[in-house]
Every structure is written in structure tokens, then in C-alpha cells.
Amino acid sequence: MEKERIFTIETTKDNLYKSYFKQNEKQMYELDNGMIIGFSSYGINCYAPDENGIYGFVGDIQFSQEGSTTEIFMHSLGISNMRLNNGDPLEMKVNGSNLKHISIEIDNRKAKELPIRTNNFFDF
């Protein structure tokens, strides 16, 4: 039986955590919810602790752009459901297998249509 290898990862706060994976990102950030994110040249990797407090890879978000379209690609082996506009969960079976990849295309021209709000000192 092969013994599980445990590595150490370091966050920008100089805290050390046990992990199932070697640290590939130069900067890893701790989130308030206990997760750690790391930025790579292609996107953002996300790590979460298991029941033993050892961090494992739970997914990544990648970005690409062609012309006026940006694509956001999400990957995880543990996607159990997805919600659009905070609605009911969508069915996640595709041809009998579990969904592991989600791809979203965004029209960059729509960014110009969003209202820009600047807060004044007394705005709440």
C-alpha cells in the first residue's frame, strides 16, 4: 500500500498548511471562508480542507478571449449542482455521466452597458 504524500503550502500571510498537492502558484491567498486560492498564468485554482484539515484541489476557473468574446471555463470533479440567478438547481447529468466542466461565453460589448456607480462619502 502506497502512503499518501503530504506537502506544505504557504499563503501570502506566511501561514503554512498541509496539502495533497505541491504548491505551483507563487501567490496563494486565504479566504475568510477557510478556502485558499492561487493565481496561475491561466486562471485561479481553488483549494479546500478535508475532514483532516489537509487542503485538496477542488476546482479552477480559466479565462480566454477571442475578439469581442471572453470565455470563462470552470472545472471541478465535484460539481453537484449549478444555479442560474439564484434559482433552483439545474440537473447535472449529461449522457449519463457527471458534469465536470462548465463553459460560459461573455460578450465583452455588454460591459459597456452596465451602469457605473461611484459612491459618494455619504452614500450607504
Give per-residue pLDDT as tens, 25-75.
889 999 999 999 999 888 899 999 999 999 998 888 998 888 888 888 888
pLDDT for the residue numbered 117: 54
Please state, rounded to an integer, the average pLDDT across all residues of the chain.
79
**Does some domain include residue 33?**
yes
Cβ pair 54, 19 in contact under 8 A: yes
Distance CA 100, CA 16 (A): 30
Going by pLDDT thresholds of 50, 70 and 90, the confidence category of residue 15 is very high
Domain contains 99:
yes
Q: Is residue 122 part of a domain?
A: no
Residue 52 pLDDT:
92
Query: Has residue 93 got a pLDDT over 60?
Result: no
Question: How many structural domains compose the chain?
Answer: 1
How high is the pLDDT of residue 19? 93
Task: Establish if 64 belongs to a structural domain.
Answer: yes
97 pLDDT more than 60 = no
CA 112/CA 124 separation, integer angstroms:
25
Q: Grade residue 3 by pLDDT with cuts at 50, 70 and 90.
A: confident
- AA letter at 122: F
Backbone angles phi, psi at 26, to 5 degrees: -75, -30
Domain contains 115 = no
Distance of CA 43 to the CA centre of its chain: 8
116 in a structural domain: no
Q: Give the pLDDT of residue 123.
A: 55
Q: Examine residue 29 and state whether it is found in any structural domain, yes or no.
A: yes
Burial (CB count within 10 angstroms: exposed 0-12, middle 13-18, buried 19+), residue 90: exposed
The strand pair at 36-39 and 69-75 is best described as: unpaired
Closest CA to 102 of 59, 45, 66: 59
Identify the pLDDT of residue 73: 86
Structural domain that includes position 100: 7-110
Q: Is residue 95 part of a domain?
A: yes
pTM of the full structure: 0.69
| R_g of the chain computed on alpha carbons | 19
